[in-house]
Amino acid sequence: MEAPHPRLAALLEGPSLWHGIEYHDEVDSTNDLAAEQARRGAPPGLVVVADHQRAGRGRRGRSWEDAADTAGAGASLLLSCLVALPERAATLAPLAAGLAVHDAVRRAGADPDLKWPNDVLLGERKCAGVLVESLTDLRRLVVGIGVDLDWRGVERGGETADWTSVAEETGAEVERWGFLADLLGSLESWLGDVTTDPSVLLARYRSRCVTVGRRVRVLTPGGALAGTAVDLDRDGSLTVRSEDGTVSVQAGDVEHLA
Ligand code: BTN
């Protein structure tokens, strides 16, 4: 793995939430490794980064692929952050992470949108996802983030066939460690708002989320639901109005319909 960026070193040395970054060439899943480190006593503020995951995990039990074997380590950014939040605020962590990725993608020169809860889209094409897992025994969260930075020349297939990467949209190379520094700086700031003033975070999230106002199909743990996404609750849930009434969805996969 390459030497870390000076901005990352500055972030670690300054008065930041992030106190350590572990770099790996290859792991099963950075989320699993961050959880393991927490169980071994690592405090919140640890970030685990890998060039390649052998068993990267997405939401709803899906796998998360990177393109390190064909496009090299810079194709994707794969990281997991160990954080502690009060239990009542934990539902907002996925939104905070989505906003942080959105910020970093924008700083890289692209024009992203958020699809609830935290898919980052360029046009209607996904370029990043977030998997937040809670370690209930330790009252910690693992915030796992995967960003497709530069998949130019990579052939995609299956359900990611219509996804994209930041460089495919901007036409420019993305400096991975600078992008990570932007992302971590922003994530710290949004996580701060989660505890101090969630209304600031929710207002910013609403302004960037293209799901509210759309016709949607939502796959929830309890089944599928179709309707119009009409609002966000204070806990980050999506309010969906369907023929059967209005439902507050806490977790699910959204498909934007026409
Ligand atoms: C999604 O399904 O959209 C969420 C994808 C999250 C992928 C990231 S990559 C780094 C971290 N480690 C994992 O195994 N998953 C997350």
The dihedral over CA atoms of 30, 148, 75, 27, expressed in degrees to the nearest 10, equals 10
Query: Residues lining ligand 1, CB < 6 A?
Result: 29-31, 53, 56-59, 62, 64, 78-80, 119, 129-131, 144-146
Judge contact between 44 and 78, C-beta under 8 A. Answer: no
Judge contact between 154 and 75, C-beta under 8 A. Answer: yes
Q: Which two tokens stand for residue 142?
A: 């693992």
Distance, CA of 186 to CA of 192 (rounded, Å): 10
Q: Sign of the C-alpha dihedral, residues 107, 98, 96, 228?
A: positive
How many residues belong to the chain? 258
pLDDT string in tens for the chain (258-residue length): 555 688 898 888 889 999 999 999 999 999 999 999 999 999 999 999 999 999 999 999 999 999 999 999 999 999 999 999 988 889 999 999 999 999 999 999 999 999 999 999 999 999 999 999 999 877 899 999 999 999 999 999 998 999 999 999 999 999 999 999 999 999 999 999 999 999 999 999 999 999 999 999 999 988 999 999 999 999 999 999 999 899 999 999 999 997
Output the CA 58–ligand 1 centroid distance in Å: 5
Output the CA 145–ligand 1 centroid distance in Å: 5
